[in-house]
Structure 1
Amino acid sequence: MKHLKLIVGLLLVTLIFSGFWTGKSKREIREENRLERVNRIVASNQTMQLLYKYAPEARQMVLRSYGYATFSNVGVNLILLSAEGGKGMAHNNRTGINTYMNMASGGLGLGIGVKDFRAVFLFENKRAYDTFVRSGWEANAQADAAAKYEESGGSLNAAITVAPGVRLYKLTQNGLALQATVQGTKYWKDTELNKN
């Protein structure tokens, strides 16, 4: 029995010092999370300003939408493998509440390089918004579509429909992307940042 207590005690000490214990107080963790939320709001605002610069008609679409989500993504292509990771937030236009989210994708494809891009999702209705925020979203081959530029009142409309009630703008350093590909990409809530 003594040996069992000793073994359990040693296991507990090992677990505490092997990563289960971060060494940060709850206050420090809360402050880090608060700063990350502020950073995501700033990044979202910058993404929206970039969108309005390259697609001025989007401003009215955003105002009429139930909500929107913005993501800052970095993608890396290494010969045959590609991976993307990013973070963002969804904003409910009706309630003003932000939901902090993450995204990731991986795939196969020929290429070498790093790309930095932004994505803006517009949600036409409550159901589309709630599904995205509550359940996350996983894009598949059906969500891969080329942006078709249509003349509408003298401006270009580059948003594509990627799911019922969901439209997407994809931006690069040079403006709107000619192709908005979200194939194999997963979006989900950041549980830590959404805690009160």
Structure 2
Amino acid sequence: MPSRLGLTTSGKEKTVKRRKILIGAVLATQLTSISYAKDKDKAAHQAEVKSKAMHALQDFYKADPAIKDEVSKAPGYAVFTTYGLSFGLGGAGGKGIAHDSKSKKDTYMSIAQASAGLQIGASDTRYLFVFKDAKALADFIDQGWDASAGAGAGAGTGKEDANVKAGAIAFTGGHAYVLTKTGLQAGVALGGSKVWKDKDLN
């Protein structure tokens, strides 16, 4: 039977169906746009982190040219900065990359304060980890690294003391360097800090 608008029941059903299809198409387009925006935002953050990390790496090379040779021979390295990133760090932390020299793959990582005694992120501080083997690099990426137990605590005499004076803190995966506004050093450094894979940027 025709309705007051001249549409049969079958015609109404077709109209409703068309509307549902149209609404579905609009929602799909919006979701695609949101997904694209998120991907674009993620890519922008990745680019920013990598750019800052590469600048930090060059700063280490300028501070001690021997580090460049060490990095070139290593299976990989990780470099972080706590300064100059423009998005959501919250102050006491920073970001960087762990680079696999063989695969050329970059993994985005975060570094943060694990004890009240440190002020990571309060000033321009950069960190460089140079790995002695592929396993140390893989463990660092997959498991993170926690110095709250006192990495470098044994740096008091002999060879360890020499490492500290040179700006390197001994940690089981290789060497770790710290660079601040006052230069390449170790004292401010890794004890109490922790590193983990950034789930939002990978």
- The alignment status of 1:96 with 2:109, answered yes or no, reads no
The equivalent of 2:137 in structure 1 is 129
Cα distance in 2, alignment partners of residues 157 and 184 from structure 1: 21
- Structure label with greater radius of gyration: 2
Gaps of 5+ in 1: 1-23, 75-82, 151-155
- The alignment status of 1:26 with 2:19, answered yes or no, reads no
State the shift of 1:68 in Å. Answer: 0.4
CA displacement 1:118-172 (0-9 Å, x = unmatched): 000001101100000011111133313568457xxxxx8422212x232101001
TM-score (norm 2): 0.69
The equivalent of 2:53 in structure 1 is 44
Structure 1 pair 174–58 and aligned structure 2 pair: CA distance change class (3 A): same
Match of 2:125 among 110, 117, 124: 117
Is the partner of 2:57 in helix, strand or coil? helix
Alignment root-mean-square deviation, CA: 2.6
**Structure 1 or 2: more helix by fraction:** 2
The equivalent of 2:116 in structure 1 is 108
Is the partner of 1:103 in helix, strand or coil? strand
- The alignment status of 1:167 with 2:175, answered yes or no, reads yes
Is the partner of 1:161 in helix, strand or coil? strand
Match of 2:92 among 84, 96, 101: 84
The equivalent of 1:144 in structure 2 is 152
Match of 1:184 among 168, 176, 192: 192
Aligned residues: 157
CA displacement 1:89-125 (0-9 Å, x = unmatched): 10011110000011211423499x9322000000110
**Structure 1 or 2: more strand by fraction:** 1
TM-score (norm 1): 0.71
The equivalent of 1:65 in structure 2 is 74
Identity of matched residues, %: 32
Cα distance in 2, alignment partners of residues 161 and 31 from structure 1: 39
